[in-house]
Chains A and B, each alone.
Chain A
Amino acid sequence: MSNTNSLLTIKDLHASVEEKQIIKGLDLDIKPGEVHAIMGPNGAGKSTLGYVLSGRDSYSVDSGSVTLDGEDLLEMETEDRARAGLFLAFQYPVEIPGVSNLEFLKASVDAQRQARGEEAITSADFLKEAKAACKQVNLPVAFLKRGVNEGFSGGEKKRNELMQMLLLKPKLCILDETDSGLDIDALQIVAEGVNSQRSADRSFIVVTHYQRLLDYIKPDFVHVLSDGKIVKSGDASLALELEAQGYSWLQKEPVEDELEG
């Protein structure tokens, strides 16, 4: 039995995409309020883990179990996982032309509130919250009227993801390489946004290739993912070690194309 007060418990997870096994026996236990960083070389399965947990079609679980708040996560539809409080910040957010950000966000919030049996939020109240969220992630309010991610720059898309997180108030946030493509100023804004959302009842999985992000978002735990498994876990100092030494010393077989930390 997993710890009863765990938020997320992953046990011996094996998962594939297009018949190719990517996750090969992964265990992870996350308690409310914890921030876990998952690092690893390209192709280790970092993004796959986020997709498998959030229930993307074409990603299939071969064996193992995942519970969120004690509920079997793998049994749930994608949208039900979101309604249960799981949020994925995409590495490459997709555009939805003609659907305004505001309309999209209101529909998302409405769907989640309805699923929880809460009253619908009024449009006026929602607009107020959305404007505040814009301000927090340093996006002009005009972005609420624009199509979802339509013509946004890379940095704007990432901040837009963060804005969605602020409004949806999830229990578990998975940030999938949120730092990729961001300059240092944008990185700081994103990190500040994430830090402002840290609380005793919200946990984070921060997937990243680089230690850089972890200078701003201090993790409680750092795990190294390699070839579909967690090969080493530690505290924040592990990330610094990786920065200095790269990933190869943790991999069973050295990767030819060495990637710097």
Chain B
Amino acid sequence: MTEQIDKALAREYEAGFVSDVESETFEPGLDENVIRRISEMKGEPEWMLEWRLSAFREWLEMEEPEWALVDYPKIDFQSISYYSAPKSMKDKPKSLDEVDPELLRTYEKLGIPLIEQQMLAGIAVDAVFDSVSVVTTFREKLEEAGVIFCPISEALHKYPDLVKKYIGSVVPKKDNYYAALNCAVFTDGSFVYIPKGTRCPMELSTYFRINEQNTGQFERTLIIADEGSHVSYLEGCTAPQRDENQLHAAVVELVAMDNAEIKYSTVQNWYPGDENGKGGIYNFVTKRGICHTNAKISWTQVETGSSVTWKYPSCILKGDNSVGEFYSVALTRGRQQADTGTKMIHIGKNTKSTIISKGISAGRSNNSYRGLVRMNPGAEGARNFTQCDSLLIGDQCGAHTFPYVESRNPSAIIEHEATTSKVSDEQMFLCRQRGLDPEKAVSMIVNGFCKEVFKELPMEFAVEAGKLLEISLEGSVG
């Protein structure tokens, strides 16, 4: 049985190809000069450079965190290149016709067609390739609704006041080691602004692709939903299959003004490394949103990739009656390690949060849920419900749960439920006795386990996430 599962898990990583694109890449190394060059390449305003440099100086004083249940060799930050962009992007193509066809082909291969006729209906895509945004689709249509959706490097030119006002407002520069590093060296990412009372007419999506070797990817996303607005945002990521580890340290900040709603979904499929843990992406990400009065932020993540994941999408429930949600599926196999969860900080009265976390461990992987629920003294009548379920496949993997609860308000109600289960021999036998092959059986059982989270994903993504798990589990059965 275990043998079959391992076999089913030994999948091909379908996004593991390398695109043949001529790139302009910085020499490895990190100092103030590198940061000045990044800022110069982007033609940034002076204040941005100063902001970066102050973050860098903070970072130099900080220690790499070691509290997570993950184990990896120390990262040599001087051996990483901090900027890489296709040469063809240097002249900033004005239209799709001017974009290098190889870049368009890359996204097409990944199932993200950027060409007008084939674009996914109802989804606007910002395609980020290494350190630059290649294309953002449906921009005119969004502009008609007053929605701004563009690369953050472009927003710095066009909407500097908005960026200046909100960047670092949710995740401060020295929030943590990787966030500080990101502030210093971030290259691109998406910027979204939804005006007051506007329901964004389509799903917004950013697709991140790492291509170049030895580069780190440091993207930064900033989403501002003004009063009474609504937006659903999707994020996907892949990288080529390589023997060396690569670092991805992103920062995402969400601002939901009064009565606004942001739904943020991630399907993370960075290269996970091979069976023996060689190669793969280090995914060290800081994601946080702030909710003002009656606002709602909902994080949904499906994490199947990366060799090491360190990620806690969080909500600061500042406004009264605001709502935070976190729905997560994290699958680890082979030698993958994931330490992921959320933080729900209840500040306002009658704030509500829901946490549903589903961890699936297979192979020799380690999968941890780490979550904080904090009820501040002013969080009168606040409520939290947390459910953490772990599913073990085989007998060589680990599942861990680290819930932290801090309640400083006696009227707050906190509920926590946790379960651990295995894909049992009986379940496998029942499925196979009805004619299902072992791979289908495992993926069905795992999909059933994740159902509560999948139903939170936008429809196109729910299908993709289900398929992703199927691919991830292929050959995992025994």
- Whether B424 and A94, one on each chain, are in contact in the complex, defined by CB atoms closer than 8 angstroms, is yes
- Whether B430 and A90, one on each chain, are in contact in the complex, defined by CB atoms closer than 8 angstroms, is yes
Pick the contact of B440: A58, A107, A115 (CB < 8 A): A107
Q: Once bound together, how far apart are the Cα atoms of A94 and B433, in whole Å?
A: 12
Do A78 and B450 contact each other (CB < 8 Å), given the known contacts A57-B425, A104-B444? no
Q: Once bound together, how far apart are the Cα atoms of A204 and B189, in whole Å?
A: 64
Q: Which residues of B contact A94 (CB under 8 A)?
A: 424, 426-427, 430
By beta carbon, the residue of chain A nearest B429 is A56
Against B, the Cβ 8 Å flags (1 = close, 0 = not) of A130-167 are: 00000000000000000110000000000000001000
Q: Which residues of B contact A168 (CB under 8 A)?
A: 434-435
In the complex, A112 has a CB within 8 A of chain B: yes
In the complex, B327 has a CB within 8 A of chain A: no
- Whether A82 and B448, one on each chain, are in contact in the complex, defined by CB atoms closer than 8 angstroms, is no
In the complex, A120 has a CB within 8 A of chain B: no
In the complex, A181 has a CB within 8 A of chain B: no
- Whether B451 and A98, one on each chain, are in contact in the complex, defined by CB atoms closer than 8 angstroms, is yes
- Whether B432 and A79, one on each chain, are in contact in the complex, defined by CB atoms closer than 8 angstroms, is yes
- Whether A79 and B425, one on each chain, are in contact in the complex, defined by CB atoms closer than 8 angstroms, is no
- Whether B433 and A88, one on each chain, are in contact in the complex, defined by CB atoms closer than 8 angstroms, is yes
Q: Which residues of B contact A96 (CB under 8 A)?
A: 427, 430-431, 444-445, 448
Q: Once bound together, how far apart are the Cα atoms of A58 and B437, in whole Å?
A: 18
- Whether A79 and B435, one on each chain, are in contact in the complex, defined by CB atoms closer than 8 angstroms, is yes
In the complex, A83 has a CB within 8 A of chain B: yes
Against A, the Cβ 8 Å flags (1 = close, 0 = not) of B434-478 are: 111110100011011111100000000000000000000000000
Q: Once bound together, how far apart are the Cα atoms of A147 and B445, in whole Å?
A: 11
For this complex, into which size category does the number of interface residues on chain A fall?
20 to 34
Q: How many residues of B contact A (CB 8 A)?
A: 25
In the complex, A93 has a CB within 8 A of chain B: yes
Q: Once bound together, how far apart are the Cα atoms of A260 and B444, in whole Å?
A: 43
Q: Which residues of B contact A97 (CB under 8 A)?
A: 448-449
- Whether A78 and B451, one on each chain, are in contact in the complex, defined by CB atoms closer than 8 angstroms, is no
Q: Once bound together, how far apart are the Cα atoms of A97 and B449, in whole Å?
A: 6
Q: Which residues of A contact B15 (CB under 8 A)?
A: none
Q: Which residues of A contact B427 (CB under 8 A)?
A: 94, 96
Pick the contact of B436: A58, A79, A81 (CB < 8 A): A79
In the complex, B1 has a CB within 8 A of chain A: yes
By beta carbon, the residue of chain A nearest B438 is A79
In the complex, A121 has a CB within 8 A of chain B: no
- Whether A99 and B444, one on each chain, are in contact in the complex, defined by CB atoms closer than 8 angstroms, is yes
Against B, the Cβ 8 Å flags (1 = close, 0 = not) of A43-76 are: 0000000000011111000000000000000000
Q: Which residues of A contact B426 (CB under 8 A)?
A: 94
In the complex, A251 has a CB within 8 A of chain B: no
Q: Once bound together, how far apart are the Cα atoms of A46 and B94, in whole Å?
A: 76
Q: Which residues of B contact A115 (CB under 8 A)?
A: 435
- Kindly identify, within residues 97 to 118 of chain A, every residue whose CB is under 8 Å from any CB belonging to chain B: 97-99, 103-104, 107-108, 111-112, 115
- Whether A99 and B447, one on each chain, are in contact in the complex, defined by CB atoms closer than 8 angstroms, is yes
Q: Which residues of A contact B452 (CB under 8 A)?
A: 98
Do A82 and B430 contact each other (CB < 8 Å), given the known contacts A98-B448, A99-B445? no
Q: Once bound together, how far apart are the Cα atoms of A104 and B444, in whole Å?
A: 8
- Whether A111 and B430, one on each chain, are in contact in the complex, defined by CB atoms closer than 8 angstroms, is no
Listed from nearest, the 4 A-B pairs whose CB atoms lie closest are A98-B448, A99-B448, A108-B434, A94-B426
Interface residues of B (CB under 8 A from A): 1, 424-438, 440, 444-445, 447-452
